[in-house]
Each structure stands twice: as C-alpha cells, then as structure tokens.
Structure 1
Amino acid sequence: MAVVHMRIDNRLIHGQVTTTWVGNIGADYLVVTNDKVANDPVQKMLLPQAARGVPTKVLSIKDTLNFVKSAEAQKGKVMIVAKLPTDALTLLEDGLQPAEINVGNQAPVPGTKFKMVTHSIAVTAADAEVYRAIAAKGYTLTCKMMPSDRPTDFLEALKKNKL
C-alpha cells in the first residue's frame, strides 16, 4: 500500500500525530524522516516511545526511501513525518509518491527572516521556494492542524503573505 500521508511538521511526533492523524488515516507505520534526527541516538530512542504503540521508525532520507519500498511497508499504510520542507522535497525528487501532503507546524527558526503564514507555520523566502517546488511536482499542499479541520491551500496562504 505504501505512503498514504506525508506531514511536514518540525515537532515530529506529538499527541496530534499519534492520537488523531495516525488513526484518521489508518496508518500501520509511522516514519520520522530527517538525516540529523536519524543520527541522534536520544531522539531515535524517545520518538518511538512518544508514538504510543504505533510501530515507528526514525530514519534518514535514504533509509526512508528504502523502507517504503520494502515488503514490510508495502503490506500496510505508512505515514511519514518530514521534519523540514527540504526533507519532503528530497523524498519526492528521489521517487516517493505519497497520496497527500499536509504542512503542519513549522516553528520559527531564530535568526531567520520568516513570516507567520498561519498561527503555527513560519516560512522564510527559501522555504516558500521549496514548497512551490513540491507543488510543481503535481501535489496540492494543504495545511490543517487536525484531520477534521477544513484544509487550506498552502500555496494560496503563501501568496496571501507575499511569499
């Protein structure tokens, strides 16, 4: 079955993901993908514990691509949580084809010139280019905190904020 949902959320695994998103989309596996996080032994240990029993992997971009092609992943539904928009774009450029992409929380990075596009999504000009590159691959980017929220077209939110 493979990747049914990709969420770009720099909080990674938290209550909204494990209690609402995973259940709503029926994910059998949760994959956190980011090269730096995958090389952090503390996060590799803690993130699966935060998933509250959902089978969870914390993987590099390359290992994420290998996992979603595996027989194990093909038997179920995979939800990917990409820490950064650049992580998501790299996965797409390397052939990942999620059924949908949602932009979740992106906290502001201190020292960067960002605009708050929503109350929980900070975007720099460079980030906006990455989001447009994702959309150029044929994806409609939505933003919503909870699955039951009405989706907002994320590119429209960028335009509204002059990004």
Structure 2
Amino acid sequence: MIAHMRIDNRLIHGQVTTSWIGAVGAGLLIVANDDVAKDPIQKQMLPLAARGVKTLVLSIQDTVDYINKGSGKEKIMILAKFPSDALALIEAGLKPLEVNVGNQAPIPGTKYKMVTKSIAVTSEDAEIYRKIENLGFHLITQMMPSNSPKEFIKVITSKGF
C-alpha cells in the first residue's frame, strides 16, 4: 500500500526521515526518478541518508513493477523528484492514499513562480498538477506532518496558474 507520495526534488532529507516516515507509518521508502536510478552515487548515498529506513532507488517503471508485484501489507512512502514523476506513476496505475507537494526548489533556466516559500512552479508543472487532480488524486501541500495541509490547486490558482 502506498501510504504517501511526496513530490520533493530534495529527495531524502531530515524532514522525510525524522518526521514523514513515522507520521505515515512507512516501512519502505522508494525514491522514484529515472535519472536518479541511473546514478550509482545517488543509488548508494540516498539509502545512507535514510538513516536505517529500508530504501529503494528505482526508475519509474521499476517502481511500478515493484508495487504491482505485490508489496503486501507493506506501507510505502514514495518520493517523486518532480511532478512529472508523480504523474507517470499515477498514470501507470499506482494509487497513493495521499499526494503531497513538498519542496520544489527552482530549476535554473526555467520560468518559475514561487507559490510558497519553498515551492517553485512553472506553467508546465501547473498543468501536471491539474492532471493529477483530474485523475482523482487530491493534492495537498504540507511541509511537516505538524503543519496544516493546504489544497495545492487552490494555492497555485491564487498565484495565477
């Protein structure tokens, strides 16, 4: 069961390991991104950053295959690096219980707008977020489990997207 999907281009960091894993009760953390999965250094370092949490670094297709093989009652948290990764996973049939837009640092050279102090969005990203919502997945933004979640589509709409 995918208890939580977080879209966060920082991937594994303190907020994930010290707060989110416990809050969602995940026993497995999957980092899902094709480029990261091809990078031997990140494949080695990211599980170390998870501080003892069982971690897999997989491509989008390998993530789908792993989940579809039957992860049983295992509670899984997926870290999607970009909104496009989250959309690809959802379009492939994965059904996370919640989708949280975490941190999205600005990507140099893109036309982004900061919609919160930690989330940069381009018009292409906004389209992807709306596609995810239109597929029936309610998007929230919630930095920490102790923060109140906000409806993400309302946030981006209020910023002109």
Same fold (TM over 0.5): yes
Indicate the residue corresponding to 2:52 in structure 1: 53
The alignment covers a number of residue pairs equal to 161
Give the Cα separation in 1 of the matches to 2:146 and 2:111: 31
SS of corresponding position for 1:74: coil
Give the Cα separation in 2 of the matches to 1:75 and 1:132: 30
Output the amino acid matched with 2:115: V
- Using the size of structure 2 for normalisation, the TM-score is 0.98
Output the amino acid matched with 1:146: M
Matches within 5 A, 1:9-158: 9-71=8-70, 73-158=71-156
Give the Cα separation in 1 of the matches to 2:134 and 2:73: 29
Deviations for 1:27-70, whole angstroms, at most 9, x for unmatched residues? Answer: 01000000000000000000000000000000000000111123
Q: What residue ranges of structure 2 are gaps of 5+ in the alignment?
A: none
Shift of 1:143: 0.4
Residue 154 (structure 2) pairs with residue 159 (structure 1): no
Q: Percent identity?
A: 58
Q: What residue ranges of structure 1 are gaps of 5+ in the alignment?
A: none
Greater than 4 Å deviation, 4+ residue runs: none
Deviations for 1:80-137, whole angstroms, at most 9, x for unmatched residues? Answer: 0000000000011110000000000000011111000000000000000000000001
Output the amino acid matched with 2:81: K
Output the amino acid matched with 1:111: G
Aligned-pair Cα RMSD in Å: 0.7
Give the Cα separation in 2 of the matches to 1:137 and 1:153: 16
Shift of 1:154: 0.4
- Using the size of structure 1 for normalisation, the TM-score is 0.97
